[in-house]
């Protein structure tokens, strides 16, 4: 996933149904000698649990919690879409504009408190490691860097086959990937993680080798490829960057239908368009184990 020099200003056209990070606050500076517990937080995205079609999907949202021994305060940190999931996955086709218009950014949100009931009753709230105040402060610096340079949300993982060792053409960049990067950063700083099973959700497309098509200007600009531009617009036409998670999944099934029928998918990734020659099983939603990281430094705490 490409890193960018800065986060672009958001276009006023992009409106979120729910305010992004409404109670968010700056990450505090911890005292160096503080001992901070780190919690793994995971819960289902409940909104679509009740559709018969969607009830069996294990779609989870991940976050990380911190508890300071010195102050007793709890904090939650997570990473999610600025304009909800539909906007990160499907573009708007705006009248008078040739190119599909994307409202796609993701970012970290940090706030005081851990909603124990939400994570415990529906999912997971488990201690994974303990860190020092110094390590927490170093992690906070890294979060700032990660946030300023990794700006686009990417729903899809694209790989060659369901085989474990299969080639990954494109990696997703979403809530769980941020948590995994955070754990890895803490491990690199010396955190020692408990040996517990940790699973994450991935939405995977299966494709032969992707074909590079160009960027917005080269396809939709004055010297662009009119046929290709029309094909991309046509592909995205049935999907609306809906606001609710449920509607998003209805669209997801529409896309599967198109993909299986025509064996094709147009992917927008790091501001570039790619053609995916799709192949069976086309799409899978998996919930599988990703182990906690092993650090590269001497250990701290238990």
Tens digits of per-residue pLDDT, 242-266?
A: 667 777 777 777 777 878 888 889 9
CB 52 within 8 A of CB 250: no
Least confident of 9-13, 63-67, 103-107: 9-13
Tens digits of per-residue pLDDT, 173-231?
A: 999 999 999 999 999 999 999 999 999 988 899 999 999 999 999 999 999 999 999 99
- Confidence class of residue 52 from pLDDT cuts 50, 70 and 90? very low
Distance CA 78, CA 60 (A): 13
Q: Is 92 a catalytic residue?
A: no
Bridge partners of 130, per DSSP, are 37
Catalytic residue among 103, 109, 175, 242: 175
Least confident of 2-6, 51-55, 207-211, 243-247: 51-55
Q: Is 61 a catalytic residue?
A: yes
* Mean pLDDT computed over 25-40: 96
- Confidence class of residue 154 from pLDDT cuts 50, 70 and 90? very high
pTM over cut 0.85: yes
> In the prediction, which pLDDT does 56 show?
56
> In the prediction, which pLDDT does 46 show?
60
The backbone torsions φ and ψ at residue 240, rounded to the nearest 5 degrees and listed phi first, read -115, 140
Catalytic residue among 61, 88, 103, 109: 61
Residue 295: how many other CB atoms lie within 10 Å: 19
Least confident of 165-179, 218-232, 284-298: 284-298
Residue 35: how many other CB atoms lie within 10 Å: 17
């Amino acid at each position: 996933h490409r890193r960018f020099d800065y986060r672009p200003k958001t276009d006023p056209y992009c409106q979120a149904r729910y305010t992004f990070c409404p109670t968010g606050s700056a990450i505090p500076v911890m005292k160096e000698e503080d001992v901070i517990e780190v919690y793994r937080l995971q819960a289902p995205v409940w909104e679509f649990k009740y559709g018969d079609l969607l009830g069996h999907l294990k779609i989870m949202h991940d976050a990380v919690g911190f508890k300071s021994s010195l102050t007793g305060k709890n904090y939650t940190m997570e990473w999610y879409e600025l304009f909800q999931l539909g906007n990160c996955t499907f573009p708007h086709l705006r009248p008078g504009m040739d190119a599909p218009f994307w409202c796609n950014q993701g970012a970290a949100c940090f706030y005081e408190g851990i909603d124990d009931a939400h994570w415990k009753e529906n999912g997971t709230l488990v201690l994974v490691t303990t860190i020092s105040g110094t390590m927490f402060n170093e992690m906070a610096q890294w979060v700032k860097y990660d946030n300023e340079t990794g700006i686009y949300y990417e729903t899809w993982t694209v790989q060659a086959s369901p085989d474990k060792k299969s080639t990954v053409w494109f990696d997703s960049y979403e809530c769980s990937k941020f948590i995994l990067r955070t754990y890895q950063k803490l491990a690199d700083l010396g955190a020692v993680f408990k040996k517990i099973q940790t699973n994450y959700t991935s939405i995977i497309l299966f494709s032969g080798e992707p074909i590079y098509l160009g960027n917005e200007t080269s396809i939709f600009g004055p010297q662009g490829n009119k046929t290709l531009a029309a094909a991309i617009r046509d592909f995205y036409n049935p999907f609306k960057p809906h606001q609710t998670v449920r509607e998003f999944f209805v669209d997801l099934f529409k896309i599967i239908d198109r993909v299986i029928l025509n064996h094709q998918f147009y992917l927008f990734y790091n501001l570039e368009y790619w053609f995916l020659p799709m192949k069976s099983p086309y799409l899978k939603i998996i919930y599988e184990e990703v182990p906690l990281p092993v650090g590269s430094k001497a250990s701290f705490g238990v």
